[in-house]
C-alpha cells in the first residue's frame, strides 16, 4: 500500500514516470500476494497516468482491466 501512496505523491507532483515506477512495484507485490483489491487499484492508477498523458485508448484499457478484477471480487 505504501508504494501506491508514493506513486500518488509523484503523480500529484507531475512526475508521471516516477509514479509509474511506484505503481509497478505495488502491482508486483500485490499480484504476488494475491490481493485483488490492490491489483484493481494499481490498474486504475495506470489508467489515470495514461489519461494525464493524453493517451485515452491506453487509459481505457487499464480502467477496463481494473473493472474486470473488481467484478471478480464482488462475485
Predicted TM-score of the model (pTM): 0.89
Only one residue has cell 501506491, namely: 4
35: left (phi over 0), alpha (psi -120 to 50) or beta: beta
Distance CA 75, CA 9 (A): 32
pLDDT, tens digit, 9 for 90 and up, residues 16-67: 999 999 999 999 999 999 999 999 999 999 999 999 999 999 999 999 999 9
Return the pLDDT at 75.
59
Distance CA 35, CA 11 (A): 23
Return the pLDDT at 72.
87
Amino acid at each position: 500500500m505504501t508504494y501506491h501512496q508514493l506513486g500518488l505523491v509523484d503523480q500529484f507532483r507531475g512526475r508521471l514516470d516516477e509514479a509509474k515506477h511506484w505503481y509497478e512495484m505495488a502491482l508486483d507485490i500485490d499480484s504476488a500476494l494475491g490481493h485483488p483489491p490492490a491489483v484493481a487499484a494499481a490498474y486504475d492508477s495506470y489508467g489515470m497516468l495514461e489519461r494525464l498523458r493524453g493517451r485515452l485508448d491506453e487509459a481505457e484499457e487499464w480502467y477496463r482491466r481494473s473493472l474486470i478484477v473488481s467484478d471478480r471480487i464482488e462475485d
